Amino acid sequence: MGKRILKKVALIIFVLAMPLLIFSVSVRLVVNDLNLYTNGLVKYDIPRETGIALAELERVDRELVQYLNSNEEYLDIVLSTGVPLYNQKEISHLKDVKDLVKLDYRLQWMTLAYVAGYALIVLVWKRSRWRIALAELGKGMKYGGGLTLTLMAILGLALLVAFDRVFLAFHLIGFSNLLWVLDPATDRLIQMFPQGFFNDAAMFLAGVTLAIALMVGAVGWVLNYYGKRHLGHV
């Protein structure tokens, strides 16, 4: 009885870890997608808003992405004119943003470690009955992918219906200060990344997450079906 309960608990944790892993991977992909930044520069006419040439803004975005993935505590970007791009408030806020990105990366590695460890244990433990192992692993992936799709459908609906409220709630929960309250008239950071950009990024994130969840769920379904079929359960 104890082993059976332990197996169920391990499976439940595996299923719950899948949405966290899929979402954290999606965030990492979106954060590092330079095409998203470049499209935003063009779509929202950021060169006109900031008075900075497109080529230099693209260079700034590259340095920003590098900063988010580096060990540097603060970002220091200087324009070709020799003037610092961001003021101290913006630089401090970017550090807070970087902390959230690093938290996402840690979440990704933690959930990946559990998911990979669970899969390895199932496959090794039942190596003499590998079809059962495939069926169990596939079941977890199928349920994990399905749970992710459900959660993202709810989040996607919330973004479509009330993006402003979701965006505000994210900032209130994600940051312990009000450094994110910037002035579009004077602060370059909000000029470069208006709310429309984050709306686009959120929808892109939802799309990437849904795509990965569909792939995970489909692979899980195939593994589960294959394992059961060869055991005569289908």
Question: For 142-173, what is each residue's pLDDT tens digit?
Answer: 999 999 999 999 998 999 899 999 999 999 99
The CA-based angle 205-182-207, given to 5 degrees, is: 5
Average of per-residue pLDDT across 176-200: 95
Q: For position 128, what pLDDT does the model report?
A: 61
- Between CA 7 and CA 42 the distance in angstroms is 52
Alpha helix positions (H), the chain: 2-31, 34-43, 46-50, 54-68, 88-125, 130-174, 188-192, 195-231
CA distance 135 to 105: 30
Give, as one character, the DSSP assignment of residue 72: -
Going by C-beta distance under 8 Å and a sequence separation of 6 or more, which residues neighbour residue 151?
19
User: How far is it, in rounded angstroms, from Cα 234 to Cα 227?
Assistant: 9
pLDDT of residue 232: 53
pLDDT value, residue 46? 97
Count: domains in the chain: 1
Distance between CA atoms of residues 176 and 163, nearest Å: 21
The residue range of the domain holding 193 is 2-231
Overall pTM > 0.85: yes
| pLDDT for the residue 127 | 63
Rounded to whole angstroms, what are the CA distances from 150 to 154, 184, 209, 215? 6, 36, 11, 14
Token duo for residue 230: 């060869």
Structure tokens at 123: 């496959």
Return the pLDDT at 123.
84
Tell how far CA 154 is from the center of its chain: 16
Pick from 21-25, 68-72, 73-77, 125-129: least confident: 125-129
Given a cut of 50, whether residue 234 has pLDDT beyond it is: no
Contact present, 65 and 29 (Cβ < 8 Å): no
CA distance 133 to 122: 6
Q: Report the pLDDT value the prediction gives residue 125, as an integer from 0 to 100.
A: 76
Above 80 in pLDDT, residue 126? no
Residue 93 confidence class, pLDDT cut points 50, 70, 90: very high
CA distance 137 to 118: 9
Q: Determine the residue type at 149.
A: L
Rounded CA gap, 92 and 198, in Å? Answer: 19
Q: Average pLDDT, whole number, for the chain?
A: 92
Examine the pLDDT at 217 and tell me if it is beyond 50: yes
Residue pair 111/17 in contact (Cβ under 8 Å)? The answer is yes
Among the residue ranges 62-66, 136-140, 227-231, the one predicted with the least confidence is 227-231
